[in-house]
Amino acid sequence: MNAYIWFFLLFGACFGALSFSRRHWFSEGPQKPAGDNGATATMASRLFWVMVCTFLWPIMLLTGLNSAWILAKRKSGPSHARR
């Protein structure tokens, strides 16, 4: 059982480290907040994001999929809505 827990936490930490630059997909929506160019990110903000994702990566993954679906709908344009 401990191996499952360690794998869950390790996967979550990797997910957090890899998704930091696109964290707006998981909370504020598909658009980056104004003034957030990534250059102002501190080590504390990166560490906090990784810690959140370590324990909540399944929820974060679902919210990211929702944002991806919204983006795909938006890219398809109004012609897709008429069908």
Distance CA 25, CA 63 (A): 8
What confidence tens digit (pLDDT) does each residue in 21-60 have?
888 777 655 566 565 555 567 888 899 999 999 999 999 9
Distance CA 59, CA 46 (A): 18
**Residue 81: what pLDDT?**
52
Q: Tell me the mean pLDDT in the region 5-26.
A: 90
Distance CA 50, CA 32 (A): 19
Enter the DSSP assignment of 23. Answer: G
Instruction: Please answer whether residues 19 and 26 qualify as being in contact, where contact means their C-beta atoms are separated by less than 8 angstroms.
Output: yes
Instruction: Please answer whether residues 67 and 26 qualify as being in contact, where contact means their C-beta atoms are separated by less than 8 angstroms.
Output: yes
